[in-house]
Amino acid sequence: MSKLIDVCLLGTGGMMPLPNRWLTALLLRFNGKMILIDCGEGTQIPLKLAGWGFKSIDAIFFTHYHADHVAGLPGLLLTMGNSGREEPLCIYGPPGLIDIIKGVTVIAPQLPFEIRLFELSKDNVATSGFGEIEIHSIPAEHAVPCLSYSIEVKRAGKFDVQRAKDKGIPVQFWSRLQKGETIEVDGTTYTPDMVLGEARKGLKISYCTDTRPIGSLVDFAQESDLLICEGMYGEEDKIEKAIEKKHMTFSEAAMLAKNGNVKELWLTHYSPSMDNPEDYLCNARSVFSNTVIGRDLMSKTLVFE
Amino acid sequence: MSKLIDVCLLGTGGMMPLPNRWLTALLLRFNGKMILIDCGEGTQIPLKLAGWGFKSIDAIFFTHYHADHVAGLPGLLLTMGNSGREEPLCIYGPPGLIDIIKGVTVIAPQLPFEIRLFELSKDNVATSGFGEIEIHSIPAEHAVPCLSYSIEVKRAGKFDVQRAKDKGIPVQFWSRLQKGETIEVDGTTYTPDMVLGEARKGLKISYCTDTRPIGSLVDFAQESDLLICEGMYGEEDKIEKAIEKKHMTFSEAAMLAKNGNVKELWLTHYSPSMDNPEDYLCNARSVFSNTVIGRDLMSKTLVFE
């Protein structure tokens, strides 16, 4: 089992792609599997620049269906098709997914792979099927139905040699048990919990964009190793606009990070009117010191403690 | 009446937007009116870089409905809406337009302006409504129904003072007649042809992309001041691929320019596999010397002779 997850913030803009700022989207890689969250107009360009390839994207998750988070999908699907993909692609998103995908793929009609659509309910449910990764979603508070996501890599407990010996478990089964496998031999069942200690801290990444900083998100993002959160407005005096447009100021995002006890905060989804988000970093850092101004193609490898 | 037309080749790529190459689209400006032809994923970015503004685009024409020519529309519409546009926008294209626009605008649902759709027939008909500009279209030969366009600025003949005097036309009507107005006064009708000489050469720009170099395009592009033509493949040995994919090689585009007696040829719509189109310029110039390798944001002002 891999002990690390790669994270790449493909873009950091909101509303429209700019000459020097791609739209907000997140790429994750773990054990050779790749997951993309959101795909606005032009997202395939930073995807190419990231250099992780197009073909092996296992799933795409959408937070919501505003154009700046979806319009790049048909082009990406065609590029994936041109790169030789044949495996089915799973696409997840809030209710409405089927109509939206039907609409935008009118210009990507003949793909060499199947698309499987999954509308996520409003409850916080884990989506599995990505190896050791679990993806949770929860409703955000935006102008349209919108989800925030968390990506969690679970980590089993340490292998306890003494317990394995005490229980008389044959040595040849130890490594399979350590990997989480249950083994049945001659009527006897050996399970991982017989030899593993308490589950250890894994990794957690939360992605909250296009939302007000509602209380449920504080719980949802709790203890994240990395919170990637929108900061539509850097200026403190844009709080009223943030409330009206259902977005956040930098300091609101920082408060969410602080109350969520996260380790690190990356801001993203900047208003096109904000030329240099660095100018307002102090507004976030005065609330939560480990705030970073997200930049296009900023990446990080998170490793188990 | 203005004596010039501005042309800006917003992008020069085919199939997918690249980090250093936008998708092929053309912007035209004449007498304050702007027309956009094609709008692939990301086209709003070079549109912003061109600096001519978003709000005053009068009409958008589509050659066909492959994603690399259409996917940027919903984002552009939203950006136009955000820039305060309220006037109706006219969109033209080959049959199928209504379904395509209905599909892709599912992510641009509430625009502050009306969209008027016009499906163009297969005949070469002039689309007017743009002042002195006439836009003609003709079927191209591509994998799907596709149109090539020509943009023509007509130019009236010189005002003939002697004829106006001979016919006894009152001097106060001269300038209105010169502008093309017909005047009725006290039962007498004065028409422009009474005082204007033969129509003089105007300006003509042709835009042919995603097509084989069929004979009808030679006639259609005849005597163009500028032919903007696809050159999907620079290499001569890709002729079979060009035939199969219904595109052109550089030398085929150059032959079209030569047979069409055009003044200047700009190549565009390069295959993503062609890193440096300049490498193959010789293949075009050996057929038609006044060939230019189109580059993103290349612009030119065409002026009446």
Has residue B2 got a pLDDT over 70? no
CA distance B47 to chain A (A): 10
Has residue A200 got a pLDDT over 90? no
Dihedral sign for Cα B182, B183, B189, B191, please. negative
Rg of chain A taking only CA atoms, in angstroms: 21
Residue-wise pLDDT for B81-140, tens only, equals 999 999 999 999 999 999 999 999 999 998 999 999 999 987 766 676 777 789 999 999
d(CA A40, CA A42) in angstroms, rounded, equals 6
Better pLDDT: A101 or A122 = A101
**pLDDT-derived band at A69, boundaries 50, 70, 90:** very high
Is residue A99 annotated as a catalytic residue, yes or no? no
Q: What count of other Cβ atoms lies within 10 Å of the Cβ of residue B45?
A: 26
Domain boundaries, chain A: 4-156+199-303, 161-193
Q: What is the mean pLDDT of residues B42-47?
A: 98
Q: Which residue of A has its CA nearest to B51?
A: A19
**pLDDT-derived band at A54, boundaries 50, 70, 90:** confident
> Is A65 at the interface with chain B, CB within 8 A?
yes
- Of A227-236, B134-143, B172-181, the range with the highest mean pLDDT is A227-236
Q: In the prediction, which pLDDT does A147 show?
A: 96
CA angle A209, A211, A215 (to 5 degrees): 115
Question: In this predicted complex, what is the ipTM?
Answer: 0.89
Choose the catalytic residue: A58, A68, A210, A225. A68
- The rounded mean pLDDT for chain A is 94
**Residue A55 φ then ψ, to 5°:** -65, -35
> Is A275 at the interface with chain B, CB within 8 A?
no
Assess contact for A24 and B23: CB atoms under 8 A.
no
Share of chain A above pLDDT 70, in %: 98
Q: In the prediction, which pLDDT does B124 show?
A: 66
Residue-wise pLDDT for B211-260, tens only, equals 999 999 999 999 999 999 999 999 999 999 999 999 999 999 999 999 99
> Is B210 at the interface with chain A, CB within 8 A?
no
Q: What is the mean pLDDT of residues A273-293?
A: 98
Has residue A26 got a pLDDT over 90? yes
Distances (CA, A) of A295 to A272, A274, B124, B297: 14, 13, 49, 26
H or E element that contains B11: strand B4-11
Q: DSSP for B71-131?
A: TTHHHHHHHHHHTT--S-EEEEESTTHHHHHHHHGGGS---SS-EEEEE--SS--EEEEET
Assess contact for A152 and A207: CB atoms under 8 A.
no
Q: What is the mean pLDDT of residues B9-35?
A: 95
Contacts of A16 in chain B (CB under 8 A): 44, 75, 78-79, 82
Q: What is the mean pLDDT of residues A231-259?
A: 98
Contacts of B74 in chain A (CB under 8 A): 41, 67, 71, 104
Helix axis angle for B97-104 and A97-104, nearest 10°, is 140
Q: What is the mean pLDDT of residues B11-21?
A: 97
CATH number belonging to domain B4-156+199-298: 3.60.15.10
Q: In the prediction, which pLDDT does A1 show?
A: 52
d(CA A137, CA A150) in angstroms, rounded, equals 6
Has residue B1 got a pLDDT over 70? no
Task: List strand residue ranges (DSSP E) for A141-283, in order.
Answer: 147-155, 183-185, 188-190, 200-208, 226-230, 265-268
Q: In the prediction, which pLDDT does B171 show?
A: 92
Alpha-helical regions (H) of B143-214: 161-166, 174-178
**pLDDT-derived band at B51, boundaries 50, 70, 90:** very high
Residue B146, exposed/middle/buried by CB under 10 A (0-12, 13-18, 19+)? Answer: buried
Q: What is the mean pLDDT of residues A28-52?
A: 95
In whole angstroms, what separates CA B258 from the centre of its chain?
20
Q: What is the mean pLDDT of residues A33-59?
A: 94
The distance between the two most distant Cα atoms of chain B, rounded to a whole number of Å, is 71
Task: Tell me if the domain spanning A4-156+199-303 has CATH number 3.40.50.2300.
Answer: no
Better pLDDT: A155 or A294 = A294
Residues sharing a CB contact under 8 Å with residue A209, sequence separation 6 or more, in sequence order: A24, A38, A63, A140, A148, A228, A229, A230, A268, A269
